[in-house]
Amino acid sequence: DIQVTQSPSSLSASVGDRVTITCQASQDIANYLNWYQQKPGKAPKLLIYDASNLETGVPSRFSGSGSGTHFTFTISSLQPEDVATYYCQEYESLHITFGQGTRLEIE
Amino acid sequence: QLQLQESGPGRVKPSETLSLTCTVSGDSISATVYYWGWIRQPPGKGLEWIGSTYYRGRTYSNPSLESRVTMSIDKSKNQFSLSLSSVTAADTAVYYCATTPSATIITYFDYWGPGTLVSVSS
């Protein structure tokens, strides 16, 4: 099965900072990678699909890039409401795998 | 817009079967453009995909859970269900139902229920 390694596991940044999270796949998954935001006590919310496509209604400060085995998720200017845990998810195989998550906090 | 709502017992005894239902509103569960799925999250931990099913019977499950998982669809009630047999404390988690907007492969999950906590204890 495909493994996805997400880093860092936690991150603290200031409002207005540019924040980057990475996901590394154990084999080539083309662009079959998605990103979610999960706030405490809530269900995950889809932000980015197919590596770089912004889900409808998601603010443009969120973006994704990458293909093959290396992927990046970026918040261009961190806002207080972005405090959450972020997950990547691959779907190259028939068996879906999520990354371990990155907990994002405000300094 | 789709809305999903999980329901089921909040507590299950070890070795018994966990059964959950997801009620769908906003579209027919027989719509040809969705896979209906389950994802779980143990307290304080990450997300784990359990499996997804299509109304015509096509089903995919996480290999680590496959032998214990059964999924079904009730078109008359616009619901889909999950059964997980022989549960242990490791199955304690928040269980989410979610949709994939695809009739062919499982890609991403765009609509989610709020989740329901199931605890396994005697």
Instruction: Locate the chain B residue with the closest alpha carbon to A48.
Output: B108
Whether residue B47 lies within 8 A of chain A, CB to CB, comes out as yes
Q: Report how far residue B33's alpha carbon sits from residue B58's, in angstroms, rounded to the nearest whole number.
A: 13
Model confidence at A44, in pLDDT bands (50, 70, 90)? very high
pLDDT in tens, chain B (122 residues): 899 999 999 999 999 999 999 999 998 888 778 999 999 999 999 999 999 998 777 899 999 999 999 999 999 999 999 999 999 999 999 999 999 998 888 899 999 999 999 999 99
Q: What is the pLDDT of residue A4?
A: 95
**For A97-107, what is the mean pLDDT?**
97
Q: Return all residues near A95 (Cβ < 8 A) that are at least 6 apart.
A: A1, A2, B49, B60, B62, B63
3-state secondary structure A16-41: CCCEEEEEEECCCCCCCEEEEEECCC
pLDDT at residue number B31:
76
- Is there a contact between A95 and B63 if contact means CB atoms under 8 Å apart? yes
Q: How many Cβ contacts (< 8 angstroms) between chains A and B?
A: 58
The answer to whether A87 contacts B113, with C-beta atoms less than 8 Å apart, is no
pLDDT tier at A1 (50, 70, 90 boundaries)?
confident
CB nearest to A101's CB, from B39, B46, B60: B46
Closest Cα in chain B, distance from residue A53 (Å): 12
- Identify all chain A residues contacting B110, using CB atoms and an 8 Å cutoff: 46, 49, 55
Count CB-CB contacts under 10 A for residue A12. 12
Confidence of residue A6 (pLDDT cuts 50, 70, 90): very high
And the tokens for B19?
A: 């059964």
β-pairing verdict for A4-7 and A70-75: unpaired
Q: How far is CA A72 from the centre of its chain?
A: 7
* Chain B interface includes A91 (CB < 8 A): yes
